Structure 1
Amino acid sequence: MNDYLDHISANDNDIYDLLISGKQRITASILRELLRDRGIFCSSKDDREDICDYISMIPHGFHDIEAIVDKREPGIRREKTTSIQFDSEIAIDDIRAAVENYMKDIGPNEEVKHRISKDGGYTMKVEYDEFNHNRTKLLQRERNEAKIDFLVESGRTVVRLPASDKAKRVVDAIKECVEQRRKAPLNQQKVELAGLSTPELRSKFFTSLISKLPGFKLRNVMNLKVSSLRRSEEDDDNLGIDMEESEAGMEMFAVVHSMALSGQNLVQSKEYKELSQRGFYITHISWKSEQIQNPPNIVRFEAGFEDRQNCIGFRYGVQGEFKYHKGAHRKTMTAVEAADRARYFSLIEQTALELKSELLSQAEG
């Protein structure tokens, strides 16, 4: 019984952890406001830790804890994006039926909204609770959202979804239901480079992606991560591996950054060849590209693989853009409008699939 009560109640340590861990959201002024609501006043010179300790010792009811959690809880996080492409058009009626079937099986902590989108596809939005045991006890339950778009065009269906485990499980359930209705399996394509056994080809995927994105010209490489084919799962000296990868990453970044700025062929550079011979290849990259047509806004992209060793789980994002105004680009990055974001995602998806097919053909040849 005591263990059960410990999971549904909060002691003074739980409340203290909740207050002290949220310095940016629960500021000293908010702490003093919590005390004023109880008729308690404290000096502006009081130490924040002392105020948190004092508040945690005061008796709290459910609504008191709920108010603190609301002030402390961050907004819904935005996951990176991934996609799956099916080789046939899935009828909207089949998608709607699969979504409605999924809604029958969900628990009380999920909420699903779905509709036909403006572009003729289908959109479903899933709001759900997820537990993160790495956070302090009273913040472990997180409210998240997964927006999944089904784009039906030109004899194929593209499913665009957040790169989260929950979104992937939802899409798997929808896919299984559609296959049962059609009584035929759906052939799908994903951007995976596990079939490329050389670091040169794996890195070439990223260098080609940033230089061949249609409608854009590369301006700058901002950041990248590398991994090594020679890394063994049996290695216990993780510190040594991380240091080696960090040094190689800095070297690779210097080479890619320099080649991008000068417009030279990266693959032919001496430094790049040396890193490839040591087994290192790019697994994630962030870059800026300028739009060729007007307005020539500069957009910051990112792309990489969740499983760095096997290059599986391709995910990407549009971090923002620097708008072109009165002959110059603004210094502050702003959010990209939804329509432009969808267009940029489509460019990355198609370019990545084409590069994957091209590089696999080179490997086979």
Structure 2
Amino acid sequence: MTSLSTNSSRSDSHHLHKSKNPVNLTNPIRLAFLGGSKSGKTSIISKLTLGSYRETYYPTTQLTPILFNYEPESTQSKDILINNNLEVGHNVNLSSVLKQSKNTGNVKNNEYYNLNETKDEITPILVELIDTPAFNPQKVVPYLEASLYSNLDKEILHNLANEPRRPVSTNPLLVASGASELNGNVNGYFFVYSAIPSYNPPGYENQANSLLSSELPTNHTFNLLPTIKAALNDAWEEYNTFKRDWAKGEESDVFSFKFAFKNILNSGKSKTQPQSFENSFDSPPIWIICTHVKNELASAQLIQDGKTLSSDWKCGFIAIDNVNDDVDIILSLMIRDILQKQKLK
């Protein structure tokens, strides 16, 4: 197993800031990484938390949360959080929320960090990064009201516990209650895809078109993005409906005569259409990450397609390379997006 160390100063910086405690010690920023196989999710998380990553590919088989103190090191990452400098280069497409923030002023001290603008200092930020298995549309369910991973005694389950527990074959994107990392407390999502069209060499007859996204296999990590977004849309729509109904008490009187009579009276009334994911303040922001952009097999068309997709969705986009880039800018952009969305809300 080979380890590529690309940021030797990261471990040293933790010792320099040991005396500083995160402001959000009891309220970490929780960010989930979603994407297909070999998209680079685990490599990004390893680079962020360890400063290096494994060159050998090992597929992620279960949800893996990693809690760490994020301490922005690059000047660019600090500027995003401390100042109002959002000019971050051609490989970044800002979300509609961040584009609006240029006219609404800086984000000062907040629930996640404090800053000292005169010294360009920022307190550590407690962040939880959630690695997920490769997205498989056949095995993913958008939403579950209760987690399937809770262990209950036979006294509670009665005849349902006569057989040994079987492994759960489905992976929910959002769980309303129960033990699951992907619950309603996730603050943001990263959709990850690779700029490499294929790891297999193309045939001579297809070589001219091998880098076009229209020629990609259906299971390519880029082609999975619309499916992931549609599933997440459904999940948050169901979750927000669940929260609203619970607050109104409708969950408790679903079978009552009053509830049935109320439904009869309201059945003819038009209902407001649910807001889309990118425009709803009830849903966390998403950022599209394109990886392997400096690889010799990378497709410039795939990078541009991701940027175009983010414009259509009004979400953020960034193209990075784990080997050559300092990737912590993705956290600064996401945190700024979260704070700006809260400010507008």
TM-score range, shorter chain: under 0.3
TM-score normalised by structure 2 residue count: 0.23
TM-score normalised by structure 1 residue count: 0.22
**Structure exhibiting the larger radius of gyration computed from Cα positions:** 1
